[in-house]
Structure 1
C-alpha cells in the first residue's frame, strides 16, 4: 500500500509556506509522524477558497475535525481574484451609515437580475442570511469593511468591500480567512489533487482519494461527509464548448485559471442534478494584462473601436461583457470617462488596477486628443460625446440609440478625459449540482446524496444570466458555513 511519506508532507508544507502573500499562514495536514495510507477526518473539504474555508471554520467550531485539500500550492481560486465585494443587506455597516433597504426589495432585485430563473427558495435564504455573513466575517475572521458607496441599481448600497492593504480585496479576504484557519488549527494540504470521491455500494459519499505532489496517493475517510468547494469549470475549454458553445470558449479568462470542473468530474458517479450549465458570470477585462475595470462600465460611455456606442450603460458589467462577443465580433471596446468620476473610490480602485498591471490606457485634455491617442475615429467620437452630453442635459438620454437609461447619466465634459480598452471575459460558471438549503447535493430524482455537500461556485441553481456584484462571495459564505455545520452534525451520528 502507498504511504504518504515524510518528504511529501514536508514538501507540501514548504510549498504553502513559500507561496507569496496570503498563503504564509497555511500548513500541511499532519505531522510526518502520522504517516499512513489512510487518514480519517470528520469532514473533508475540497478547495481552499472562500466557501471551503468558511466550511472548515464552522465545522471546527461545531466540534468536528475538518481538513482542507487544495490541488494548487496556494489558494488559487476565484476568491483571490475578486474585488472582495460581499453583496448583502440588513448589515451592521448599512445601519452605521443609515442605509435604508428591505429584504423584500433585495429579494425582488435578486430575482429580477436572474430573469426570475434563480431558485426562489435558495434566493430567499440568501437574502435573509446575507447580513449575517458581514457580521460573521467581522466577529470570527477580523474582516473590516470600507464605507459603502451608492452604486447604480442593482448594487445600490449593498456592496460591502473588504478593507485592507492587499489588492484585489478578495486576496485580503482570503488572508483573513486563512489566518482564522491557522488560529483554529485546521489542517490544510496544498499540492493535493482529489482524483475521486469515494462511496459505498449505495452511493453515499465516504471520503476521497487524492494525489500529493503528483506522486503519492492518500485515501482520506470522511465520517461526516465531503464538501465540494472547488469552484466551477470556466477554465476548462472543453466543458465550456460543450455546455455553452465554441465562441464562448474564446473569451479571455478573468478569474482563476485553475478552476477546471472538478465540481462536475468528481461528482458524476453520484448522478447529481446539474442545472444552469449554460450560464456564466462574465465581466470586462483588459485581455493582455487581466486588469479588471468591472463596474467602471457604469461611470461613462462604452464605445466600439469605430467610436460608436453599442449598449445601454445602465447594464450591469456582467451583461455588458456577455453581450460583447455577440455585438462586437472582435470583442474589443473602450470605457470613456472624465475627471468628474475619478475621485470616486470605486473608479479610483479600477484605475489603480490598470496601473498596477501596467495595462495601457489613454488620457487627454480634449476628446479629439483622446481619440487620436486611443486610435479611435476623431470626428465620430467627438460627435458621439457631444450628442450624448446634449441628450443628458435635455433629459433625453433614454432616447439615444442605444438608449442610456441610467437614473443619473454622467456627463463627459471635464478634462482630463480617459479611455480604458477592455474585452468581455469569463469569470465563473453558474452551473453545477443543485443543492438544498442545507447544502446537500441533489441527485436526478431530487433526493439528497448522503454525505455529499456543495458550496461556492461549485453549485448550480442560485444564479442565472446575471447577478448583483458580490453575490458569489456572499453565497459561498452562506452555504460554505451551512455545509460545515451539516457535515459536522452528520459525523457525530456516524
Structure 2
C-alpha cells in the first residue's frame, strides 16, 4: 500500500519551502533505472562524520555535529525526507521539563523511569532507559532553545502517559512535519550538505571491521564513496515495510497489518550492519497504532475516550491501555483486524478527540453518527441489539464502579471511565496498523553499535528506530522522537572525538 496521497502536502512543504526539490516520489528507494549502466565511481569525499537518514535522529546529529565544529554530510535515499518523523504527531515523551512547569504539571524523573521500565515488561536495556529518562528534559530544552520548537499546552492522558507527551505546534500538521521543516532550516543555515536520492548500499570497512565510511548509488547510476574519519551515524529507521523481515521475525499476521508508518523504512539497519556481526535485539517487537486501513486516517489516542468493539458489537479489549497495546492486540483478537471506536458527544469537545475527528474528515474516512446507539449500529453495519446491550452493560458497570470486573478478558482499567450516554453518538472504524519496529543492533550509552561479543564496532553509531533494546512490548507516546534526539546528539560528539583522536582507519 502506498502513502503517496497521504503525504503529498507534507512532502511538498518540505520540498518547496526549503530545498526546491524535484517532484516527490510516491515511494521506494532512489535507485538506478532498470537496465541502466552503473557509471564509474565519481570519487571519494572525506568527512568527519557521515549521517545516513534525514529523520529526527539524523537531523539532530547533523545540527549537533556542525555546532561542535565537525565536517559532516547527510545522505538520504529518498528525494525528500520521507521517514516516520514527517508522519509523526510530533510528540516527545519527557519528565521534569520546563513545559510541564509552565503548565502546572508535577512530575519527576524517577517516577518516569519506573513507568517506562514497567511498560517494557522489565525487558528494556535498563542502562539505556535510565539515560533516556535522565536526558529527556534536556531534549525539550534543546529543541526549544536551539531549534525554535514551540509546544502545545500539555494534555493529561491515561496512566502512565499522564502529562508527559510534549507536542510540537506550528503552522504545519502533523507536528512531525513541522519539526522536520524547522530542523532542516537549521541544517541549511549551518551549511551542512544534504544529498537526496543517494542510497547507501554498503558500510565500508577495513580488515579489522572498523567502519570507514559508506558507498552509495544514486538514481542516475553513479556510485560514490564517502569516507568518515570519525564514523558513520546510522539513522535509517527500522524494517516495518520489509515484509520478508517482518515475516521472519514476527510472523505473517504482523507482516499483513496495514502500514501506518513510512514506506521507506525497509531494513537498512539490518542489511547494512550485518557484515559487522552486530548484536540484534528485540527483533520481534514493534510499535503499532490504530489506523483506518483504506484512507490511513489516524485515530491514535481516541481509542481511550470510548469503547472499542468488534464487528459483532462486543467489547474485546481494555480501553485503559495505550493505543499501542490496543493496536497490537486488535489483529490478535479479531482475525479480520477490524474494529470500531464508539463515542458519545461529550468527548467531542476534548482537544485530543477533536483533532482525530478532523483527521478522519480530511482523509474522507467514514464517521458514523446517530442519535441512538441502535441507529448508530445500523449506520456502521453493526448488530443494533448487541451493541446497545454492550453499551448498557458498560455504562452500568462504570456507574457501579465495577468496570474492572466486566469480564476476565476485557476489563476496563480506565481511572475515570467515560460512559456512553449522551447523543449524538459516533463510531469510527479502525485496524491495528504497523508503525515502526523496536528491533535492531544494540547500542551503548555512546550510541556505539555493539557486536555479538559486546564490544563496540569502531566507527559505527546508530540512533533511534535503527537500534534495538530500548523499547519492548508496549510504548508511551513520543518516546521514539525523544530517543532520536538523545542518541543522535551523543553520536555526533562521539564520532567527532574519534576523528580528532585519529583513531579512524
**Scaled by the length of structure 1, what TM-score is found?**
0.94
Q: Which 4+ stretches in 1 moved above 4 angstroms? A: none
Who is 1:490 aligned against? 498
1:278 paired to 2:284: yes
5+ long unaligned stretches in structure 1:
1-17, 29-34
Farther-moved stretch of structure 1 (263-272 vs 411-420): 411-420
Who is 2:173 aligned against? 167
- 1:232-259 Cα offsets, whole Å, 9 max, x none, are 0000000000111111111011000110
- 1:433-481 Cα offsets, whole Å, 9 max, x none, are 0001010000000000100000010000000011111101110111011
Change (3 A) 1:19 1:417: closer
Partner residue of 2:65 out of 43, 50, 59: 59
Task: Output aligned runs, 1:117-136, within 5 Å.
Answer: 117-136=123-142
Who is 2:120 aligned against? 114
Shift in Å at residue 196 of structure 1? 0.4
1:471 paired to 2:475: no
SS at match of 1:418: strand
Who is 1:403 aligned against? 411
Who is 2:206 aligned against? 200
SS at match of 2:316: coil
Change (3 A) 1:332 1:19: closer
1:20 paired to 2:12: yes
Who is 1:380 aligned against? 386
- 1:414-451 Cα offsets, whole Å, 9 max, x none, are 12211000001110000000001010000000000100
Aligned partners of 2:42 and 2:197: how far apart in 1? 18
Task: Output aligned runs, 1:189-228, within 5 Å.
Answer: 189-228=195-234
Farther-moved stretch of structure 1 (187-196 vs 398-407): 398-407
Does the CA contact (< 8 Å) of 2:11 and 2:81 recur in 1?
no
Does the CA contact (< 8 Å) of 1:51 and 1:480 recur in 2?
yes
Q: How many residues align?
A: 471
Does the CA contact (< 8 Å) of 1:284 and 1:320 recur in 2?
yes
- 1:183-223 Cα offsets, whole Å, 9 max, x none, are 11111000010000001110111000001224111111111
Shift in Å at residue 482 of structure 1? 0.6
SS at match of 2:382: coil
SS at match of 1:408: coil
Aligned partners of 1:36 and 1:327: how far apart in 2? 54
Partner residue of 1:356 out of 328, 347, 362: 362
1:39 paired to 2:45: yes
- 1:38-93 Cα offsets, whole Å, 9 max, x none, are 11111100000000000011111110011110000111100011111100011110
Who is 1:311 aligned against? 317
Does the CA contact (< 8 Å) of 1:19 and 1:73 recur in 2?
no
SS at match of 1:162: strand
Shift in Å at residue 492 of structure 1? 1.5
Partner residue of 2:77 out of 71, 74, 95: 71
Task: Output aligned runs, 1:309-458, within 5 Å.
Answer: 309-401=315-407, 402-458=410-466
Shift in Å at residue 350 of structure 1? 1.1
Task: Output aligned runs, 1:92-103, within 5 Å.
Answer: 92-103=98-109
Who is 1:6 aligned against? none
Who is 1:148 aligned against? 154
Aligned partners of 2:153 and 2:74: how far apart in 1? 33
SS at match of 1:478: helix
SS at match of 1:342: helix
Does the CA contact (< 8 Å) of 2:42 and 2:223 recur in 1?
no
Shift in Å at residue 36 of structure 1? 4.7
Does the CA contact (< 8 Å) of 1:301 and 1:313 recur in 2?
yes
Shift in Å at residue 399 of structure 1? 1.4
Does the CA contact (< 8 Å) of 1:22 and 1:172 recur in 2?
no
Does the CA contact (< 8 Å) of 1:26 and 1:188 recur in 2?
no
Who is 1:266 aligned against? 272
**Scaled by the length of structure 2, what TM-score is found?**
0.92
SS at match of 1:450: strand
Partner residue of 2:468 out of 457, 460, 463: 460
Aligned partners of 2:425 and 2:91: how far apart in 1? 27
Does the CA contact (< 8 Å) of 1:321 and 1:423 recur in 2?
yes
Aligned partners of 1:106 and 1:289: how far apart in 2? 35
Does the CA contact (< 8 Å) of 1:27 and 1:189 recur in 2?
no
Partner residue of 1:90 out of 91, 96, 111: 96
Shift in Å at residue 19 of structure 1? 5.2
Aligned partners of 2:148 and 2:220: how far apart in 1? 35
Aligned partners of 2:105 and 2:260: how far apart in 1? 31
SS at match of 1:341: helix
Who is 2:3 aligned against? none
1:238 paired to 2:244: yes
Aligned partners of 1:267 and 1:54: how far apart in 2? 21
- 1:126-150 Cα offsets, whole Å, 9 max, x none, are 0000001111111111100000000
Aligned partners of 2:311 and 2:455: how far apart in 1? 51
Who is 1:31 aligned against? none
